[in-house]
Amino acid sequence: MEKIFKTEIAGRPFTVEVGHFAQFANGSALVKYGDTTVLSTATASTQPREGIDFFPLSVDYEEKMYAVGKIPGGFLKREGRPGEKAILTSRVIDRPIRPLFPKDLRNDVSVNNLVMSVDPDCSPEIAAMLGTSISIAISDIPWKGPIGGVVLGLIDGKTIINPTLEQRQESQMYVTLAGTLTKICMVEAGANEVPDDVMLNAIAEGHEEIKKIVEFINGIVAEVGKEKFTYESADVPEEVFDAVKEYGWDKMREAVLAVDKEVRDANVAKLQEEVAAMLEEKEEGLSKWAADSIYKLEKKVVRDYLFREHRRVDGRALDEIRPLSCGIDQIPRVHGSAWFQRGQTQVMNICTLAPLAEAQKLEGLDEQEYKRYIHHYNMPGYSTGEAKPSRSPGRREIGHGALAERSLIPVLPSEEEFPYAIRTVSEITMSNGSTSQGSVCASTLSLMAAGVPIKRPVAGISSGLITDPDNDDNFLVFMDIQGIEDFFGDMDFKVAGTTEGITSIQVDIKVEGLTLEIIRQAFEMTRKGRLQIINDVILPCISEPRAELSAYAPRIITMKVPTDKIREVIGSGGKVINKIIADTGADININDDGTIFISTPDLEKAEKAKMIINGIVADPEVGTEYDGTVTRLMDFGAFVEFLPGKEGLVHISKMAWNRVEKVEDVLHEGDKVHVKLIEIDSQGRLNLSIRDCLPKPEGYVEEEPRRRENRPNRERRGGFQGRERRESDDSGDEKKGRRRSF
């Protein structure tokens, strides 16, 4: 039966329709936030998937270009693979809902969000997150939700819930927050060096709005929710795990205590072989539970060490960072390079600079058309000791790259200060925990080494959590988690920032949520960590961005010309601009506002191109002398290019003080001559003189002008008409666009 539910979120209408669309899904909802419309569905398989040791959840966020009244580009005119924004949104929705599913569930669960209409003031990401929560909550799929979600902005020190498009452009941060009635489930943030206490207060304010949303969803569930289905648990049988625990508890405590990951893994693998043999001897077929039992036992031992004894497997204190080291200029010929290492996590980063024309063009549902800073993250198999071939980046690689990118954007110089497109690439060469934050540190180093004038260094660090499931007030927060602590802990709380404040946050949790006190302690610990990395490691390595770019980096000169002069710079069919490029070897890009970017590794050539363009846009002044080149000879005179793209006529009577019978007697094409502009006639034609640059002979008497009748009409007519045709040829208008590249 169709039902419609209505409320308001941040002063804008929010409507939910259930029972009408996608009725074969386990749960579905058509949500409308303002005019933003998303169809959210949740579907589960009837049987568990065989042979897996994880919960198979997939979350998709599909952007359809019709949602913003556009037809997709390219030949197919059909949406292809998900864009980066869609993948990141899928991850943001996945993270808060996943911990609320039963950990022993092995039925496939598929969540799909189809974006059908977009109101720029009402975030489709939030509409999709709430639609996901509603569709799962009213379905028969086992789940401990619902959750609510909001976006937080910050303007003039005030927290804005779900900011409009105009407010987002002014906001000092963009924080996606999700939570239940009692806890925070997910934080994803980009911020312009926002202080930790301001961020914490904003999260608290956002949670109050989330509580209202969750109550609204609970009302929907009470009216149309289905009874949850029962499922076959994939957990290790209790009696089997009890036997493994009795046999291996002390052995596991000894096995995991190793600083080196390889040694620790080898110890645990050996113990698993012993446990498999013990279980098979106990009862035939029980050895199939050996791997799951060992994983569960290792998790309990590591958590017990941390929670009960405040002891870490590598011997560190709870607030101690693993050994740190870094360096720059490891790679020759690139524009900037650096490496950063924390324990057994090692990242190399390479920075490349290019003209702004090489910025990434975007096609999506929001207003962003291009991005000038790009961060890519690659994690090959060898970084974890695995023998597997390299593949195209997955969702994790895209997510980690976007996190590092978001961390550094607030400190980058503006396009006016530094007119470059910038790409940094993080190559993970060793991985044992928090490679994304290692990428932030390595990127900072390579940007500074490349001479990018960033405002301040950025560093990133993560903190972990162990909680008492029976008491929310009993928990332990610790700094710089390595792989084993990430696998078996309850959260990975990543924070990047400068000495002044936070630039990014990403929180992954494995429990049902975090209290504000846990978040407060995590902020305190990560702030201490990032300051230590900046002051003790990054700044001693390179104290400030280099003043000079690499010899292999392009030099870019920015200049601006009047918009009505752009056509003159381009010339008919691009003739003028292409000649400048051919003569100087520079790349030249022109914006519609008259801004011109000239780039070449040779600064002298860039300056030459600038000088030529300045000559083109300069307004010639009568009485001014110029150096020029003869371009064409006519019976009545010669055309001389005296400024780039500007020609004038030297009449035969103005070539010398004495009488000249034939133009060819004194001038030839290609001759360099010194001329004076003596007239700009009513039609804008430029008349030049060579003789007026020369001393007048003593006793000179001006001759009477020659009679035109002495010259054939055909030649006279052809010469002047040819000149007029040339000067009126304005067929070189370029297509309208943001930037023209040549």
723 occurs within a structural domain: no
The whole-number average pLDDT for the span 500-514 is 94
Q: Are residues 216 and 288 in the same domain?
A: no
pLDDT over 90 at 362, yes or no: no
pLDDT over 50 at 347, yes or no: yes
CA torsion through residues 97, 101, 105, 109, sign: negative
Phi-psi sector, 144: left (phi>0), alpha (psi -120 to 50), beta: alpha
**Confidence grade of residue 617 (pLDDT, cut at 50, 70, 90):** confident
Start-to-end C-alpha separation, the chain:
61
Q: Are residues 120 and 9 in the same domain?
A: yes
The residue range of the domain holding 647 is 620-706
Q: What is the pLDDT of residue 718?
A: 44
Secondary structure element (H or E) that encloses residue 272, with its range: helix 261-282
pLDDT over 80 at 735, yes or no: no
Inter-helix orientation angle 196-224/124-137, to 10°: 40
Q: Are residues 379 and 472 in the same domain?
A: yes
When comparing pLDDT for 649 and 576, which is higher?
Answer: 649
Q: Which CA distances in Å does 652 have to 639, 656, 696, 717?
A: 11, 8, 17, 16
CA torsion through residues 603, 608, 614, 616, sign: negative
Q: What is the pLDDT of residue 705?
A: 59
Q: Are residues 405 and 467 in the same domain?
A: yes
Provide the percentage of residues in the chain whose pLDDT is more than 70: 94
What is the distance between the alpha carbons of residues 499 and 195, in angstroms, rounded to a whole number?
9
- Among 5-19, 120-134, 262-276, 613-627, the range scoring the smallest mean pLDDT is 613-627
3-class state of residue 59 by DSSP: strand
Written as one string, the DSSP assignment of 310-377 is ---TT---TTPPPPEEEEE--SSSSSEEEEEEETTEEEEEEEEEEEGGGSEE--SSSS--EESEEEEE
What is the distance between the alpha carbons of residues 503 and 95, in angstroms, rounded to a whole number?
20
Specify which of 111-120, 287-296, 718-727 reaches the highest per-range mean pLDDT.
111-120
Position 378: which residue type? N
Q: What is the pLDDT of residue 242?
A: 93
**Confidence grade of residue 742 (pLDDT, cut at 50, 70, 90):** low
Considering 275, 309, 343, which residue would you say is the last residue of a domain? 309
**CA-based R_g, the chain, Å:** 35
pLDDT tens string 443-456: 999 999 999 999 99
Position 140: which residue type? D
Q: Are residues 219 and 97 in the same domain?
A: yes
**Confidence grade of residue 144 (pLDDT, cut at 50, 70, 90):** very high
Q: Are residues 426 and 456 in the same domain?
A: yes
Neighbours of 1 (CB within 10 A): 6
CATH of residue 695's domain is: 2.40.50.140
Q: Please tell me the pTM assigned to this model.
A: 0.83
Written as one string, the DSSP assignment of 378-444 is E--GGGGT------S--HHHHHHHHHHHHHHGGGSPPTTTS-EEEEEEEEEEE-SS-HHHHHHHHHH
419 occurs within a structural domain: yes
What is the distance between the alpha carbons of residues 645 and 618, in angstroms, rounded to a whole number?
11
670 occurs within a structural domain: yes
Sequence-distant (≥ 6) Cβ neighbours of residue 22 within 8 angstroms: 28, 39, 41
Q: In this structure, what are the phi and psi dihedrals at residue 34, rounded to the nearest 5 degrees?
A: 60, -125
Residue 5 forms beta bridges with which residues?
Answer: 16
What is the distance between the alpha carbons of residues 492 and 485, in angstroms, rounded to a whole number?
9
pLDDT over 90 at 696, yes or no: no
Nearest to 347 by CA among 432, 481, 442: 442
When comparing pLDDT for 632 and 715, which is higher?
Answer: 632
If DSSP states are collapsed to H, E and C, what string results for 205-261? HHHHHHHHHHHHHHHHHHHHCCCCCCCCCCCCCHHHHHHHHHHHHHHHHHHCCCCCH
| Structure tokens, 300 | 């309990």
**Confidence grade of residue 493 (pLDDT, cut at 50, 70, 90):** very high
Q: Are residues 64 and 111 in the same domain?
A: yes
Q: What is the pLDDT of residue 626?
A: 87
pLDDT over 80 at 352, yes or no: yes
Do 646 and 592 contact (CB within 8 A), yes or no? no
**Confidence grade of residue 698 (pLDDT, cut at 50, 70, 90):** confident
Q: What is the pLDDT of residue 409?
A: 97
Q: What is the pLDDT of residue 460?
A: 97
pLDDT over 50 at 657, yes or no: yes
Provide the percentage of residues in the chain whose pLDDT is more than 90: 66
- Among 43-52, 238-247, 586-595, 695-704, the range scoring the smallest mean pLDDT is 695-704
What is the distance between the alpha carbons of residues 248 and 274, in angstroms, rounded to a whole number?
9
Secondary structure element (H or E) that encloses residue 204, with its range: helix 196-224
pLDDT tens string 517-552: 999 999 999 999 999 999 999 999 999 999 999 989
pLDDT tens string 389-404: 888 899 999 999 999 9
Q: Are residues 338 and 456 in the same domain?
A: yes
Q: Are residues 61 and 169 in the same domain?
A: yes
Q: For the chain, what is the domain count? A: 4
740 occurs within a structural domain: no
Position 153: which residue type? G
388 occurs within a structural domain: yes
Position 343: which residue type? G
Q: Are residues 506 and 430 in the same domain?
A: yes
CATH of residue 353's domain is: 3.30.230.70
pLDDT over 90 at 607, yes or no: no
Q: What is the pLDDT of residue 124?
A: 96
| Structure tokens, 642 | 């005296």
Considering 541, 565, 590, which residue would you say is the last residue of a domain? 541
Q: What is the pLDDT of residue 418?
A: 93
The whole-number average pLDDT for the span 630-646 is 88
Considering 541, 567, 592, which residue would you say is the last residue of a domain? 541
Q: Are residues 521 and 668 in the same domain?
A: no
pLDDT tens string 236-289: 999 999 999 999 999 999 998 888 888 988 999 999 999 999 999 888 888 999
pLDDT over 70 at 741, yes or no: no
**Confidence grade of residue 717 (pLDDT, cut at 50, 70, 90):** very low
271 occurs within a structural domain: yes
Q: Which CA distances in Å does 24 have to 60, 106, 231?
A: 18, 21, 20
585 occurs within a structural domain: no
Q: Are residues 154 and 271 in the same domain?
A: no
pLDDT over 60 at 709, yes or no: no
| Structure tokens, 657 | 């003080």
* Average pLDDT across the chain, whole number: 90
What does the DSSP 8-state code read for residue 98? G
Q: Which CA distances in Å does 584 have to 383, 587, 612, 628?
A: 45, 9, 10, 18
716 occurs within a structural domain: no
